[in-house]
């Protein structure tokens, strides 16, 4: 459904401001206007359009969480089942935390109201499910966990480079600060006297400006940037070691965990977090992977050196994902079953 919107960014664009770079003092103002998020201005337009559409059920995914409010209003008006899809936690949203008692009370009010009203709830991981049940025990039976999946056909054998290559796939931002990892590799190269042409790190995906400047300080780094999906997967797979970075919150859930495992690459996680539960369970089942404290530069350095030595001896480590059931085909079937069940209940 596409409509007009009072999105502040869209309004600035219409007034001729094509690029907006907020200053530090702008942030409190932005957070006040854009509450609960910057799509709040879409609600009246979405409602007006939504109530005119004939449908059997309403499926809504968030963030942005203002979409939940729009979908709730439409579902209540037309009397159709509402299915919620949490891609992140709402009240505990890790990327732009809600600050202040009143904001948290507002979000908590709507979260309880909408989840109680809904016919079914889908969450991307166990942490979100557990959080919702702890707050609202009465909704437990209508919550299903459907993680981000992978397509096995995307992960075909690719030729590996002659240089030992470490790859990162995803966005680099505050919650995925690569500084500790880069320091570990820098120390490894200089302590062990590894040639600059013998080791390379590839960053595949969007990188925020501040971190581009940091990353470019290291000669052994190659920035691939944002690539089309299949090209990004091929680039990522043509490496010898995968790195994942997290700096903490249990509600910060790296969305590509199944794709990392589908490559078969050994994985080093820089940073401990309950949000990487999927990876940790795979490691316990035998997949080659290691998790280190974010600041444990020494251990990260040693593990990379061990894997580098094995590579130089011609030995390769290949894992096999233990999550065959998490293909996109299987997860889509699970979702379709939930939607059909709710639709039949209203017939």
Coil, strand or helix at 321? coil
**Alpha-carbon span 133 to 120, nearest angstrom:** 13
- Sorted by where each begins, the domain ranges of the chain are 8-146+330-345, 152-324
Amino acid 95: pLDDT: 82
Beta bridge pairs of residue 83: 59, 120
Q: What is the pLDDT of residue 250?
A: 76
What confidence score (pLDDT) does residue 15 get? 58
Task: Quote the tokens at residue 327.
Answer: 């293909």
Give first-to-last CA distance, the chain, whole Å: 24
Q: Which tokens is 200 given?
A: 């390379």
Which residues have C-beta within 8 Å of that of residue 158, sequence separation ≥ 6?
Answer: 234, 237, 238
Instruction: Establish whether domains 8-146+330-345 and 152-324 are of one fold.
Output: yes
What CATH number does domain 152-324 carry, 2.30.30.60, 3.40.50.2000, 3.30.465.10, 3.40.190.10?
3.40.50.2000
pLDDT at 11: 57
Instruction: Give percent helix, percent strand, percent coil of the chain, each to the nearest 5.
Output: 45, 15, 40
Altogether, the residues listed in the chain come to a count of 347
| Residue 297 to residue 305: CA distance in whole angstroms | 12
- Measure CA 323 to chain center: 18
Backbone angles phi, psi at 41, to 5 degrees: -70, -5
Q: Which residues are bridge partners to 59 per DSSP? A: 83
Give the homologous superfamily in CATH for domain 8-146+330-345.
Glycogen Phosphorylase B; (3.40.50.2000)
3-state SS class at 128:
helix
Residue-by-residue pLDDT tens, the chain, 347 positions: 566 666 666 555 565 655 556 555 455 545 555 567 777 888 999 999 999 999 999 999 999 999 999 999 999 999 999 999 999 999 999 888 888 899 999 999 999 999 999 999 999 999 999 999 999 999 999 999 999 999 999 998 899 999 999 999 999 988 899 999 999 999 999 998 888 889 999 999 999 988 998 999 999 999 999 999 999 999 999 999 999 999 767 788 889 999 999 999 999 999 998 889 999 999 999 999 999 999 999 999 999 999 999 999 999 899 999 999 999 999 999 999 999 999 876 65
Nearest to 73 by CA among 58, 63, 56: 58
């Amino acid at each position: 459904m596409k409509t007009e919107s009072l999105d502040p960014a869209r309004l600035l664009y219409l007034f001729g401001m094509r690029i907006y770079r907020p200053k530090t003092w702008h942030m409190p103002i932005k957070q006040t206007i854009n509450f609960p998020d910057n799509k709040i201005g879409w609600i009246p337009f979405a409602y007006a359009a939504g109530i005119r559409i004939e449908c059997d059920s309403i499926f809504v995914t968030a963030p942005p969480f203002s979409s939940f409010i729009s979908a709730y209003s439409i579902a209540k008006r037309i009397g159709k089942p509402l299915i919620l899809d949490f891609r992140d936690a709402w009240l505990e949203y890790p990327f732009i935390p809600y600050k202040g008692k009143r904001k948290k009370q507002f979000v908590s009010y709507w979260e309880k109201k909408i989840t109680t009203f809904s016919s079914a709830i889908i969450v991307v991981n166990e942490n979100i499910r557990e959080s919702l049940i702890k707050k609202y025990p009465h909704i437990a039976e209508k919550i299903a966990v459907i993680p981000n999946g992978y397509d096995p056909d995307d992960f075909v054998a690719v030729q590996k480079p002659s240089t030992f290559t470490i790859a990162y796939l995803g966005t680099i931002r505050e919650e995925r600060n690569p500084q500790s990892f880069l320091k570990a590799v820098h120390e490894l190269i200089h302590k062990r006297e590894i040639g600059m042409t013998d080791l390379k790190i590839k960053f595949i995906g969007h990188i925020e400006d501040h971190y581009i400047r940091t990353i470019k300080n290291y000669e052994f780094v190659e920035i691939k940037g944002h690539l089309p999906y299949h090209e990004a997967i091929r680039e990522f797979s043509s490496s010898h070691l995968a790195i994942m970075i997290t700096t903490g919150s249990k509600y910060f859930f790296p969305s590509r965990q199944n794709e990392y495992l589908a490559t078969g690459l050994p994985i080093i996680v820089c940073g401990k977090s309950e949000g990487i539960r999927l990876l940790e369970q795979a490691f316990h089942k035998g997949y080659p992977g290691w998790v280190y404290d974010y600041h444990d530069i020494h251990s990260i350095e040693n593990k990379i050196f061990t894997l580098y030595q094995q590579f130089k001896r011609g030995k390769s480590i290949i894992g096999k994902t233990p999550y065959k059931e998490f293909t996109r085909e299987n997860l889509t079937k699970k979702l379709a079953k939930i939607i059909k069940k709710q639709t039949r209940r209203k017939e």
